[in-house]
């Protein structure tokens, strides 16, 4: 595999499959106490706040025997104007890998170009590949397969949607994305995903997208950095809520996924989030296991 993990497409289908199987094994307790990262330090450079990404990486690195080193721009010279390139050059002299959580994907790519150690995308405005690994693991756990699963993503065509499209292309999912006009996912990522094994459709009607779905997935309507247009977004997405009416269109054994944080009464109702079809908190836990499997593969 490539030394960096900036988007899901950086991994081939077989590599993704290996990570998922390893993650499921780690969750079941395989190789408990094994410490492949003993003596290694992994940096966590976060421009954006985080709950799941930060804690799952810190705990996962520790459980693998490594040392997590958490940094924010305010605590480093990058906050005073040191270039991304210089920061990457220096940090890669100290660390064995670096997880970067940032706004602009181009900044992440610049960082990776100048780093001498593997760089992992902890989230950017364009991709959220670690979330997608956890999503695929959860689908495999709950449905027993990935190839041919029908997944409906309802809402904003954001970084999570982009990474799900790449997941569909790599692993053979049938993905329907329902979003309002003007809120579609990245067209270049869509074209790339369609060159793979799966199918990706962009629709307007959420009930059409959810028809006979095995999985229904959503994310927040207002992501970090979009607060100024919050009310506009709530109006645009008001018909794109996961609720009991929408789930009637899906299969009887549909599972409901959400990458969290969730805003009950907006993109999903509390009834559905807390209901028997929700696997949201298993999905959140799986960030830990999937990322441990990724770190094992990436950090040598």
Residue ranges per domain, the chain? 8-128+286-298, 131-283
231 DSSP β-pair partners: none
pLDDT of res. 1: 43
219 among known catalytic residues: yes
> What pTM value is reported for the model?
0.97
101 among known catalytic residues: yes
Which of 128, 258, 277, 289 is an active site residue? Answer: 128
Q: At the topology level of CATH, where does 8-128+286-298 sit?
A: Rossmann fold (3.40.50)
Which of 130, 179, 249, 259 is an active site residue? Answer: 259
Architecture in CATH of 131-283: 3-Layer(aba) Sandwich (3.40)
249 among known catalytic residues: no
Whether 8-128+286-298 shares its CATH topology with 131-283 is answered yes
Which of 127, 170, 287, 289 is an active site residue? Answer: 287
128 among known catalytic residues: yes
Which of 101, 105, 170, 277 is an active site residue? Answer: 101
233 among known catalytic residues: no
Which of 63, 131, 283, 291 is an active site residue? Answer: 131
pLDDT of res. 136: 98
pLDDT of res. 2: 54
Nearest-10 crossing angle of helices 129-143, 13-27 = 70
287 among known catalytic residues: yes
Give pLDDT < 70 ranges for the chain.
1-2
Which of 219, 258, 289, 291 is an active site residue? Answer: 219
């Amino acid at each position: 595999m490539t030394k960096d993990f900036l988007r899901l497409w950086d991994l081939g289908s077989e590599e993704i499959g290996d990570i998922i199987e390893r993650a499921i094994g780690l969750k079941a307790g395989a190789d408990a106490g094994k410490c492949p990262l003993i003596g290694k330090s992994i940096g966590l450079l976060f421009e954006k706040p985080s709950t799941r990404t930060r804690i799952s990486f810190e705990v996962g690195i520790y459980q693998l025997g490594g040392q997590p080193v958490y940094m924010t721009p305010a605590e480093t010279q990058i906050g005073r104007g040191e270039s991304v390139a210089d920061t990457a050059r220096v940090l890669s002299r100290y660390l064995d890998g670096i997880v970067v959580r940032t706004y602009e994907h181009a900044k992440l790519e610049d960082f990776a170009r100048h780093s001498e150690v593997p760089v992992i995308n902890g989230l950017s405005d364009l991709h959220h590949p670690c979330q997608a690994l956890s999503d695929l693991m959860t689908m495999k756990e709950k449905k027993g397969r990935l190839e041919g699963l029908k997944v409906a993503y309802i809402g904003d065509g954001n970084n999570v949607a982009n990474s799900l499209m790449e997941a569909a292309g790599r692993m053979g999912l049938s993905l329907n994305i329902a979003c309002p006009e003007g809120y579609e996912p990245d067209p270049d990522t869509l074209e790339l995903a369609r060159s793979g094994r799966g199918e990706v459709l962009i629709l307007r009607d959420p009930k059409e997208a959810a028809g006979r779905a095995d999985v229904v997935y959503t994310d927040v309507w207002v992501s970090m950095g979009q607060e100024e247009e919050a009310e506009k977004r709530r109006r645009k997405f008001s018909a794109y809520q996961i609720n009991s009416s929408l789930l009637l269109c899906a299969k009887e054994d549909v599972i409901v996924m959400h990458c969290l944080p969730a805003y009950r009464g907006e993109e999903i109702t509390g009834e559905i989030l807390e209901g028997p079809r929700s696997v949201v908190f298993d999905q959140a836990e799986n960030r830990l296991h999937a990322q441990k499997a990724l770190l094992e593969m990436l950090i040598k």
